[in-house]
Amino acid sequence: MFHREGQRIIIIAFTLLSLVVLLAHLYVTTPWLKWTLQIGSIVLLVLIMQFFRNPRRIAQKNFDEILAPVDGKVVIVDEVEEKEYFKDKRKQISIFMSPLDVHVTRYAASGVIKYSKYHPGKYLVAWHAKSSEKNERTTVVINTPLFGDILYRQIAGAVARRIVNYAEVGEHVQQGDDAGFIKFGSRVDLLLPLDSVITVKVNQKVVGAKTCIATVAESEEKGYIT
């Protein structure tokens, strides 16, 4: 299954690359050049198709876990000052996506969208410390039953120049559902309450809508802090 954001690109790529293969077969007489053009076109088409793949995943929905919003590698686990929305300290988990990762963004938790904003910006490499403040990005805040407000950012990188965000203020969203897409590599940041228990480590690989990245803090009296 391919993501809807890639369907047009796949059709165009298939048409153009098929034409290259056909023209090479008809008009290129040098064997090594013909095979290079044809095999190269097929490989490029496969790479484009795999980039836009959208594996079907059914999240085991629950309120006491935050699931990874994307596939990739955890590059930051830290306490930071969030300047755009909360304007206070939060726990940050950043996940970097390589061009080979699935690039679908999924909702990390169920709840109601309170804030959704697009920011134009630069295209620093996604692991740059300032990319979350300087790069093109979207910021989304979800009000959840147990964690309260959580924030995630889709951040464009040096290659990724197209962010798609489906979150609309007032919308009720479900954990694991499709929240958008980032074309050609980048990263997603999550900003969680300080009492969240982080369950992942730097350099750990995570899977969107599958890997638990944080749980609600336990309370001796109620079982949870809400």
Residues composing the chain = 226
DSSP string, 63-126: TTEEEPSSSEEEEEEEEEEETTTT-EEEEEEEEEE-TTS--EEE-SS-EEEEEEEEE--B---T
Quote the CA–CA distance of 168 and 179 in Å, as a whole number: 10
Q: Give residue 209's Cα distance to chain centre.
A: 11
The torsion of the CA quartet 165, 171, 152, 124, rounded to 10 degrees, works out to: 20
Return the closest-CA partner of residue 178 out of 50, 73, 69, 49.
Answer: 69
Dihedrals phi, psi of 22, to nearest 5 degrees: -65, -45
Is 116 annotated as catalytic? no
Quote the CA–CA distance of 186 and 48 in Å, as a whole number: 16
Quote the CA–CA distance of 90 and 78 in Å, as a whole number: 8
Q: Which of 41, 131, 186, 196 is catalytic?
A: 186
Return the closest-CA partner of residue 193 out of 137, 151, 130, 132.
Answer: 151
- Give catalytic residues, as residue numbers: 186
